[in-house]
Amino acid sequence: MVLKIRQTGDLVLRLPARPLSPEEIVSEPVQGLIAAMMETMRDAPGVGLAAPQVGYGLRLAVIEDTADYIARLPPGQAAERRRTPVPFHVIVNPEVTVENSDQVQFFEGCLSVAGFTAIVPRALAVRIDCLNERGEPVSIRAEGWYARILQHEIDHLNSHLYIDRMDPRSFMTLDAFNRYWRDLPTAAFLEALEEGQEGNG
* Residue-level pLDDT at 77: 94
In a domain? residue 4: no
Identify whether 1 is part of a domain: no
Range of the domain at 25: 11-199
DSSP structure class, residue 126: E
Q: Is the pLDDT of residue 50 over 60?
A: yes
pLDDT category at 17 given cuts 50, 70, 90 is very high
150, 47 contact by CB (below 8 A): no
Tell me, yes or no, whether 2 lies in a domain: no
Please report the pLDDT score of residue 196 as a whole number: 78
Considering the domain boundaries, does residue 182 fall inside one? Answer: yes
119 Cβ contact partners less than 8 Å away, ≥ 6 residues apart: 105, 106, 107, 108, 166, 167, 170, 186, 189, 190
State the total domains in the chain: 1
- What global pTM score does this model have? 0.95
Task: Give me the torsion for CA of 142, 147, 151, 152, rounded to 10°.
Answer: -140
**pLDDT category of residue 20 using cuts at 50, 70 and 90:** very high
* Residues annotated as catalytic (active site), given as ranges: 153
Q: Report the pLDDT averaged over residues 29-40.
A: 98
Residue 191's CATH number: 3.90.45.10
